[in-house]
Amino acid sequence: MGYITPFVTEIDFASGTLSAPGYVIQRKLSDMASMYVDGDEAARILADEGDRLIYEVQGVELPAEEGQIPHCTTRITAGRIGAEYHMTKGHYHARREQGEVYFGLSGHGILVMQTETGETSAQEMVAGSAAYVPPFWAHRTVNAGDEDFVFFSVWEARAGHDYGTIERDGFRKLVVLRDGAPAVVDNPKVG
Ligand code: S6P
Ligand code: ZN
């Protein structure tokens, strides 16, 4: 295993900014337009308003080896594509038996999860919420508020990320604005 000396990272809870990020990833609407249920509205926004930042990840760089514990922040901007709130792509872990912990830092989110055998779960997250993503559950976070939703994630280095299954099959549940509030509803495009 790679030898790492101890370190501390300072985190700004409102923005998710790390004092010394090892990497920063930005996901824009153009990176994930096909993941929103209202594809026409995603295309209209891209054509009329231009691209927009959906979320940003800042993490520490660690070797993807047994025993290492990667951690990062995610900041999801506020907004919707049609009725559907801004969200992450979402993924299964490539090693399905690896779980994860999320900790809410600011704003209001909904953690949407599902298994390959058809179970679904949607958990509210606010500052101070510690959410457990058990092994075998795909996970996507959604900003259900009107300010940035920021959370911290901790996982095992060999978990890996399987985005392809969600890109192909989608999530069974969507988070949409309904009657003036966020609601978790069935995805009409997933049987
Ligand atoms: C990593 C963990 C999170 C996400 C991040 C972005 O296992 O679940 O750090 O990577 O929230 O979401 P996504 O779906 O684009 O990786
Ligand atoms: Zn994960």
What tens digit of pLDDT does each residue of 68-115 get? 999 999 999 999 999 999 999 999 999 999 999 999 999 999 999 999
Is 0.85 surpassed by the pTM of this model? yes
Rounding to the nearest 10 degrees, give the CA dihedral for residues 115, 117, 120, 125.
Answer: -20
CB-proximal residues (5 Å) to ion ligand 2? 100
In our burial notation (b when 16+ CB lie closer than 10 A, e otherwise), range 75-108 reads bbeeebbbbbbbbbebbbbeebebbbebbbbbbb
**How many angstroms is it from 139 CA to the middle of ligand 2?**
6
User: How many other β-carbons are positioned within 10 Å of the β-carbon of residue 181?
Assistant: 8
For residue 2, pLDDT over 90 is answered with: no
Nearest CA to ligand 1 atom 5: 74
Closest CA to 143 of 169, 131, 125, 129: 125
The radius of gyration of the chain from alpha carbons, rounded to an integer in Å, stands at 16
For residue 153, pLDDT over 90 is answered with: yes
Query: How many Cα atoms sit within 13 Å of 33 on the Cβ side?
Result: 14
Determine whether the shortest distance from the Cβ of 102 to ligand 1 is under 6 A: no
For residue 191, pLDDT over 80 is answered with: no
Do 172 and 137 contact (CB within 8 A), yes or no? Answer: no
Q: What is the pLDDT of residue 1?
A: 67
